[in-house]
Amino acid sequence: MPAPDLSKLFKPKSVAIIGASTRETAAGWRVTRNLKNGGFKGGIYPINPRYEEVLGLRCYPNLKSLPETPDAVFIGIPAEQVAPVLEEIGKAGIKAVVTNASGFADGGPEGIARQKVIEKIAADYGIAICGPNNTGFINLVDETQIATWPRMPNLKRGSVAAVTQSGSVAIALGQEEFDLGLAYVITAGNEAVCGVAEYLDYLVRDPRVKVVTLYIETIRNPVLFAKAAQEAARRNVRIVALKVGATEQGMAAVAAHTGALAGDDKVYDAYFRRLGVVRVHDLDELVEAARLFSFYPDPPRTKTVVPMTFSGGQAGVIADLGSQLGLEMPQFTPETLARIKPAFPIFATPRNPLDAWGLGWDTQRFTDMVQALADDASIGTVAFAVDMPELGGADTFIVEDMLPVAKTVAAKTDAKIVWINNMTGGGYHKPMLDQIKQAGFPYLRGLRTALNLLHIWTNYEKPGARPAVPSMPAGVAKAKSLAEPERFKLMTEAGVPMCACTAVTSRAEAIDAAKRAGFPVVLKATAPNLPHKTELGLIRLNLKDADAVGAAFDDLSKKFKAVPNVGEAAAIVVQPMAGPGVELIVGVRNDPRFGSAIAVGLGGTFVEILREARVEIGPVTATEARKMLDATRAGTILRGVRGKGPYDIDAAAEAIAALSRFGASAMGILSAVEVNPLIVLEKGKGAVGVDVLLEPVKPA
């Protein structure tokens, strides 16, 4: 089914309400009222043969009796009655429907079957359906409110759009108290036809929308979502997502450790990062992030933040929270310190975060401090942390003096100014809030939430150009049947350095291969369908002479015979022992919906204990691979700790990038590729993989 045209849905010239009612609790009555009271300029046509009038509007017996064919229809009848009505709508040439009834995919096997029926009807006629099992939408910028909300708030129009898979979350976000400046609020429901991806694709193309907030449990169309996010980045529209359900169920049943390390939630993290989507983790962050990015879509000139408050106690709280959240708050340069020092007692040393009370409140001293901070090119953001309760008091009188200063300084500098209310409770002083907003500044609520969002914002990076996916290497299609030496060769040719590997069939061959490799060596009994050789006792390490190699070969040969169904590619191989280094796990998990995810973390025994990994959507560059390492404890260890190291982090990054290219090129053929461990040797000596797993895609 081609993507439906959503313009008839969100900007109809006329709307029919099937199931209109005179009962105030009925969905049809609420939709009729909300359209009428919301300023809708087009025709509103209630349909119900039982009534002559609803809310002062003529009520019609059926679609055929309407004076015109409406652009959109709200279906406010029970689920079991929807399909025949939708068929009639399709035959009438109507292309947009909102249906709120539950009892479809949310209603067990019978409901699932019922939803498939309406999906087919929609596909046959090209109908865009919002719902079912939702509360509709409000479009404030075009005064169209096909929504079942029992109370329609008096909202100010703005540039923030909200899409949510929860109707109650939509109603919560769309309240006057948040003062977000909303353009749209859309509830997705069961997403029979239109879902988060389709709505996002529509919204980012509306020039009146600057920020799109999402509350989602899943993304049913990741390919369209990605295209929409890329369009958003091109238009400088920010997307903020609250993704719930952070479980490690895994998108593919892979035997590799990568399947656990790159679980659903980490893949979503990587997917969002790749697309420039800002991910938040609760509703407070969702609201405040929308507020922040609607004022400042781009990050400040530097990551450095100077929070200013008027209390040493609050400065201490900010210092602790900021440190925990990773906010960059370095101490002042000597030049800046010299400029702000006169505002403080002679015995005091001003620090970041800055208790700006100093010698007492004085507008000129405050002006000098703020100007000094703004003139320091190393400082990107000055954040005023104040208490401004609903009834006034606390810092409200100071804020009245601060605001003109902030406006004057902001007009002469590239530094950004942000306001923070220290606490979330107690309400907010609305007159001053309005003045701050009109001056062009965001006012964030709650220290922890605000500081975390400052960290996210100051570190925001627009998505850049992606490395090209290379063509699929020869031999990948036969990965299922490749013996270990052939798999090692395939990896080496792809740019992933692997240890030398020789297959042997006799005790004498094993000893000869060991001598050529140089003692000590490793013997392994391998087969493509044996990912966990250690657990089966099929590896012998640190064999230092011919006798040890011979005995190991004999022992492994006996154990190997007891392993069922090892296949024709089974073999005993000889490898040289890799030198001492840091063991990493590097794996790719391919998913046809989200792409090729590359996971990196500490390997060896650490992989089971820490289960720590950084995941990105590949392919990645060597520079990005280094950032991945730095995001885990592996980066710290590779740089050297307690007299060990540094190790060859450049070689590790090159190997990770090469594996990501290989994995992405094998999409559709391999579900998992894993090198575990990749041993990173001392700096300048490279890195080497000593084991590889290639897991083919399982037949559907």
Amino acid of residue 30: R
Predicted confidence at residue 606, as pLDDT, reads 57
What's the pLDDT at 605? 57
Please check the confidence at residue 232 and state whether its pLDDT lies above 60.
Answer: yes
If we measure between CA atoms, which residue out of 137, 116, 119 comes closest to residue 129? 119
Distance CA 366, CA 354 (A): 11
Q: How far is CA 554 from CA 229, 236, 501, in A?
A: 58, 66, 19
What is the distance between the alpha carbons of residues 227 and 111, in angstroms, rounded to a whole number? 31
pLDDT at 254: 38
pLDDT tens column, 537-555: 889 999 999 999 999 999 9
Which residues share a beta bridge with 136?
Answer: 147
Q: Say if residue 265 is exposed, middle or buried (CB neighbours under 10 Å; 0-12, 13-18, 19+).
A: middle
CB under 8 Å to 476, separation ≥6 — which residues?
A: 490, 665, 666, 669, 670
Q: What does the pLDDT average to over 123-128?
A: 96
pLDDT greater than 80 at residue 524:
yes
> What is residue 608's predicted lDDT score, i.e. its pLDDT?
54
How far apart, in whole angstroms, are the C-alpha atoms of residue 61 and residue 55? 16
For the chain, percent of residues with pLDDT exceeding 90:
76
Q: Which of 286-300, 326-340, 425-439, 574-588 has the lowest mean pLDDT?
A: 425-439
The residue among 428 and 39 whose pLDDT is bigger is: 39
Strands (E), 106-248: 128-130, 137-139, 157-164, 182-187, 211-216, 238-243
Can you tell me the mean pLDDT for 585-612? 81
Cβ–Cβ under 8 Å, residues 635 and 655: no
Q: What is the pLDDT of residues 654-697, one digit of tens each?
A: 999 999 999 999 999 999 999 989 999 999 999 999 999 898 88
Write down all domains in the chain, each with its CATH number in brackets: 1-132 (3.40.50.720), 153-298 (3.40.50.261), 299-458 (3.40.50.261), 501-576 (3.30.1490.20), 582-696 (3.30.470.20)
For residue 168, the SS3 value is: helix
Q: pLDDT value at position 251?
A: 40
Which of 85-94, 115-124, 472-481, 485-494 is predicted with the least confidence, judged by mean pLDDT? 472-481
- Does residue 657 contact residue 494 with C-beta atoms inside 8 Å? no
The half-sphere exposure of 602 on its side-chain side, counting CA atoms within 13 A, is 19
Mean pLDDT of the chain: 91
**pLDDT at 488 exceeding the cut of 70:** yes
Give pLDDT tens digits for 2-52.
Answer: 667 899 999 999 999 999 999 999 999 999 999 999 999 999 999 999 999
> Is the pLDDT score of 252 beyond 60?
no
246 has pLDDT over 80: no
338/330 Cα distance (integer angstroms): 16
CA torsion, points 409, 411, 412, 413, in degrees to nearest 10? 80
Q: 228 phi and psi, to 5 degrees?
A: -65, -40
Using the structure block, give the residue that is written with the tokens 């006792």.
537
pLDDT-based confidence at 253, cuts 50/70/90?
very low
Predicted local confidence at residue 248, as pLDDT: 47
Spatial contact of 652 and 680, defined as CB atoms under 8 Å apart:
yes
Q: Report whether pLDDT(268) > 50.
A: yes
Residue 220 contacts residue 197 (beta carbons within 8 Å)? yes
Contact indicator for 95, 4 with CB cutoff of 8 Å: yes
d(CA 288, CA 633): 31
**Which of residues 699 and 185 earns the better pLDDT score?**
185
Degrees (nearest 5) of the Cα angle 322, 328, 332?
A: 110
Element (H, E) at 610: helix 606-610
The model's pLDDT over 634-653, given as tens digits with 9 standing for 90+, comes to: 999 999 988 788 999 999 99
pLDDT tens for 180-227 read 899 999 999 999 999 999 999 999 999 999 999 999 998 999 999 999
Using alpha carbons, list the distances in angstroms from residue 592 to 168, 193, 444, 596, 668: 32, 21, 39, 8, 7
Contact (Cβ atoms closer than 8 angstroms) between residue 147 and residue 162: no
Q: How far apart are CA 341 and CA 362, in angstroms?
A: 14
Residue 198 identity (one-letter amino acid): E
In sign, the C-alpha dihedral spanning 449, 450, 455, 461 is positive
Please state which of the ranges 190-194, 280-284, 505-509, 561-565 shows the lowest mean pLDDT.
561-565
CA–CA separation, 237 and 229 (whole Å):
9
Mean pLDDT for 126-140 is: 96
pLDDT greater at residue 579 or residue 203: 203
Q: What is the three-class DSSP state of 281?
A: coil
How far is it, in rounded angstroms, from Cα 137 to Cα 132?
Answer: 12
CA dihedral 518, 521, 526, 530 (to 10 degrees): -140
Among 81-95, 162-176, 328-342, the range scoring the smallest mean pLDDT is 162-176
